Chains A and B, each alone.
Chain A
């Protein structure tokens, strides 16, 4: 059975080349099934959006733009 990390890398949630610390790996492996399922589902919608728009994902480590949604 795949670990959380293997599954999330396969689905693109975690980049294949990500250099994770032991603590980060522990966080990933400690994610619940529901957290993993939700992350995969969100990633699939991102992939669909990118395919439709012809855009690319933000590279790992690149600053992510604010959506400017505020409270």
Chain B
């Protein structure tokens, strides 16, 4: 069981105290292997969603909900970086994590604006995007990471990134979906850009996770928060489909 503050005594003062995953598993391979146990929940829905004949109707809804996630990315990473720095010298994960999150926040800056522009191509105004309330699933997902970062450990945020950047969009699949739906290419700019960027981000993230002296508690936190991410993103897709199907 995870415990809230204060940090548990197993916190390593020395990277040599880090927990070693079984066999040849690296830290990142272990996390992704656990994610694969839960991912069918999202994979089935994603396949169902992107295969729908009425994708042209569903797609603006998808982009709206995606915007509610993306607009939180940079602030959440910067918050995580600050919390990681605040851990101080006694936590060997903190400084490495803070440096990564600060760097990655800059890489992701402005992507919410790309999405607004894509939505405008589809006839959804900026005002509509900003005035509409996010889903409770989006709030529950993003809000949970603020909780975990603040009250357990900011390393939790890496699971959010591992799920969302760990299985990046594929250009050919996006082009196929777009063509079938008859949607303008300009409405896919955000996803197409991420299809090109995210494989690099995924590799950088894995490299970071492998460099961190993670404890067994960190690993459990990463797993539980990644499962939660999968569940809440799945819920968003379910809600889009349910709203359309009545």
Contacts and interface: CB of A to CB of B under 8 A. Distances in A.
Given A69-B69, A70-B165, A70-B190, A27 B33 contact: yes
Nearest to B201: A71
Contact of B238 (A22, A49, A69): A49
A3 interface: no
Contact of B46 (A32, A39, A68): A68
A45 B37 contact: no
Given A24-B33, A45-B234, A64 B224 contact: no
B23 A50 contact: no
Interface residues of B, number: 59
Given A22-B23, A34-B220, A45-B234, A27 B41 contact: no
How extensive is the interface on chain A, given as a class?
A: 35 or more
Given A46-B40, A64-B167, A55 B70 contact: no
Nearest to B219: A30
Interface string B1-33: 110000000000000000001111100001001
A70 B230 contact: no
A46 B1 CA distance: 25
A70 B44 contact: no
A42 B233 CA distance: 12
Nearest to A68: B169
A47 B38 CA distance: 12
A14 to B, nearest CB: 7
Nearest to A43: B41
A12 to B, nearest CB: 9
Interface in B31-81: 33-34, 36-50, 62, 66, 69-70, 73
B239 to A, nearest CB: 12
Nearest to B21: A27
Interface string A29-58: 011111100110011011001100101011
B231 A30 contact: no
A14 B40 CA distance: 11
B22 A27 contact: yes
Nearest to A26: B22
A69 B238 CA distance: 14
B22 A14 contact: no
A8 B41 CA distance: 15
A1 interface: no
Given A57-B40, A70-B198, A71-B73, A23 B23 contact: yes
Interface string B189-230: 011001000100100000000000000000010011001101
13 contacts: A8-B37, A21-B23, A23-B23, A24-B23, A24-B33, A30-B22, A34-B224, A35-B223, A49-B41, A67-B42, A68-B46, A68-B66, A71-B161
Interface of A: 8, 13-14, 21-24, 26-27, 30-35, 38-39, 42-43, 45-46, 49-50, 53, 55, 57-58, 64-71
